[in-house]
Amino acid sequence: MARVWLAEEHEAEAVAALLVGFRDHMGRDWPSDNAFLASVERLMERRESEFLLAAADDDSAPDGVCQLRYRFGVWYATLDCWLEDLFVREQARGAGLGAALVAAALARATERGCRRVELDVSTGNPTALALYQRHGFSTGKEPGTQDLLMRARVNGGA
């Protein structure tokens, strides 16, 4: 059975290695491995971000990760959670790690007092889209509508 836990600071290298795997899976070569590690360490120092790790069992190394970011939201007068960067190594896919990470993310957001969890997912990734829908995520606030994530690039950002 899959095991999911809240990553601790001494596990920053494991978190960063999984995020580098995600970067590679996406066909990118930037940020560097060192930049990922420095970013993970920086985020772990703050209470606004957490990382969850997942392994197939108690004796296995982590093969999955997701990042949770928290911010105070005026619409619910409490914290919102953004589920970010969920990734499971290819050799571990199909074993329930993704589902375990999503369930743990929802439970963690509840523990932190959040009333809303949001994420973005590409329609080009139907497996992930179906995973999130199975856990109660929807694409629109109103029936028959679809919310869109929009972004503008500034200062050379992606």
pLDDT on residue 82: 97
Q: Are 118 and 99 in contact (CB under 8 A)?
A: no
pLDDT on residue 144: 83
pLDDT on residue 158: 62
State the average pLDDT over residues 30-35.
Answer: 96
Identify which has the larger pLDDT, 7 or 46. Answer: 7
Phi, psi angles (nearest 5°) of residue 54: -135, 140
pLDDT on residue 53: 98
Which CATH superfamily does the domain covering 3-134 fall into? Gcn5-related N-acetyltransferase (GNAT) (3.40.630.30)
- The answer to whether residue 36 scores a pLDDT higher than 80 is yes
- The answer to whether residue 15 scores a pLDDT higher than 90 is yes
pLDDT in tens, 41-99: 999 999 899 999 999 999 999 999 999 999 999 999 999 999 999 999 999 999 999 99
User: What is the pTM assigned to this prediction?
Assistant: 0.93
